[in-house]
Amino acid sequence: MTQPSQKALVPFVSVDQMMRLIHHIGIEDMLRGLADRIEADFRRWPLFDKTPRVASHSDVGVIELMPTSDGDVYGFKYVNGHPGNTKGGLQTVTAFGLLSDVATGYPVLFSEMTILTALRTAATSALVARVLAPASSRVMAMIGNGAQSEFQSLAMKAVVGIDEVRLFDTDPAATEKCAKNLEGHGLRIVRCKTAEDAIMGAQIITTCTADKQYATILTDNMVGAGVHINAIGGDCPGKTELAPAILSRADIFVEYPEQTRIEGEIQQMAADHPVTEFWEVLTGAATGRTDARQITLFDSVGFAIEDFSALCYVRDAIKGTDFFTPLDMLADPDDPRDLFGMVQRAG
Ligand code: NAD
């Protein structure tokens, strides 16, 4: 009987295996490693195929595909965003992804990406803050204490060197969960009753809330000179977090403008509102922070290259480990033209 040949088995990293991998590497080392991998790929940005993600919207959320390729390796992520999900005990964001070999089109990795998305989003935020936030940044306000919040906090500690995180969420239970989870990780944790309280003394302000509307998590008078804003939650048409007046005062840095103008905070601004592509700051083609009073804003929406980098990191990290399962997901008969024969013989 013709069996699928060994070469067609695809390494699959399950949720359980991803969690074991994180413990094996150590979460802060993994966040640093992901930030370095994303930085390396951002530095070769022009090499990649780029397209705004393909989104299917509904009244309650969005389901998206995020593809890219560097010419040798192709990757995509499936991801959803459903702000109402948590009320029913479900995650707002879930994801999985795949890498394949451009030369053959054969998949080389299949992986859970719900946890990996939280890690790569946090690593990207921290990479950007390492470059744009004031060099003296030690305190971060974390507004929105849901699924992403601990990852964001630990990445800012591991990559930027913050030592205090000031938590605020409209749901005190979320703040309590985040504070408890962060205990023992070497951060001073301050629970705050308002967003205004959370941003007191913070050099970095992260907004990471979920609501499918034009929300105003930060008003103009809340944002003082010299801060870095890491705006994570506004990542969909009709879903923003910042008052437009803040965008007018800030220098705005984005991943891929064609996607961010559809999904990011800047959907509230004119189509030609000036923005800087962050990869150009890394290569020296554009300037980042130029003075201490400047407000820098990372209008994060999440771009396919970050997922590609994260999947490549995992592909390399699982080599020589048992943190994956070989998956029989490709029909690959010994005689490539005898697909039907293989099916028939299986009977
Ligand atoms: P989540 O639902 O787990 O947490 C969101 C939290 O925000 C909740 O605890 C909620 O109570 C709180 N919140 C809602 N409105 C608030 C307000 N006005 N003030 C303070 N807190 C408020 O969601 P999550 O998985 O943590 O994701 C957060 C957001 O980040 C989502 O909108 C998601 O789409 C987005 N996201 C962006 C990226 C990216 O790359 N930019 C990646 C992942 C997730």
Residue 106 CA to residue 122 CA, distance in Å, equals 30
Q: Identical fold at 6-115+305-346 and 123-302?
A: no
* Percentage of residues in the chain having pLDDT higher than 90: 93
Pocket test for ligand 1, best of 121, 197, 209, 213 (most atoms within 8 A of CB): 209
Rounded to the nearest 10 degrees, the angle between the axes of helix 114-132 and helix 27-43 is 70
* Cβ neighbours of 136 (radius 10 Å): 10
Task: Please identify which of the residues 41, 70, 169, 235 carries the catalytic annotation.
Answer: 235
Q: Residue 153 C-alpha to ligand 1 middle, in angstroms?
A: 14
Q: Residue 21 C-alpha to ligand 1 middle, in angstroms?
A: 25
Rounded to the nearest 10 degrees, the angle between the axes of helix 27-43 and helix 304-317 is 130
Type of residue at 272: D
Report pLDDT digits (tens) over 199-255: 999 999 999 998 868 889 999 999 999 999 999 998 888 989 999 999 999 999 999
* Percentage of residues in the chain having pLDDT higher than 70: 98
Average the pLDDT over each of 3-12, 175-184, 246-255 and give the range with the smallest value.
3-12
User: Ligand 1 pocket by C-beta < 6 Å: which residues?
Assistant: 81, 86, 92-93, 117, 121, 143-148, 168-171, 174, 208-211, 215, 217, 232-233, 235, 300-302
The domain locations on the chain are: 6-115+305-346, 123-302
In the predicted structure, residue 115 carries a pLDDT above the cut 80? yes
As to burial, measured by CB atoms within 10 angstroms (0-12 exposed, 13-18 middle, 19+ buried), residue 28 is middle
As to burial, measured by CB atoms within 10 angstroms (0-12 exposed, 13-18 middle, 19+ buried), residue 57 is middle
Q: Identify the CATH class of 123-302.
A: alpha beta
Q: Which atom of ligand 1 is nearest to the CA of 236?
A: 34
Closest CA to 282 of 122, 53, 124: 124
Type of residue at 277: E
Q: What is the DSSP string of 31-56?
A: HHHHHHHHHHHHHTGGGS-----EEE
Pocket test for ligand 1, best of 34, 168, 194, 208 (most atoms within 8 A of CB): 208
Q: What is the pLDDT of residue 4?
A: 44
Q: Residue 147 C-alpha to ligand 1 middle, in angstroms?
A: 7
CA angle, 208 then 209 then 214, to 5°: 115
Annotated active-site residue 29? The verdict is no
Residue having the nearest C-alpha atom to atom 7 of ligand 1: 209
Closest CA to 275 of 300, 309, 310, 240: 300
In the predicted structure, residue 334 carries a pLDDT above the cut 80? yes
Q: What is the CATH number of domain 6-115+305-346?
A: 3.30.1780.10
This model's pTM is above 0.85: yes
Q: Which atom of ligand 1 is nearest to the CA of 93?
A: 25
Q: Residue 57 C-alpha to ligand 1 middle, in angstroms?
A: 18
Q: Residue 332 C-alpha to ligand 1 middle, in angstroms?
A: 42
Report pLDDT digits (tens) over 16-34: 999 999 999 999 999 999 9
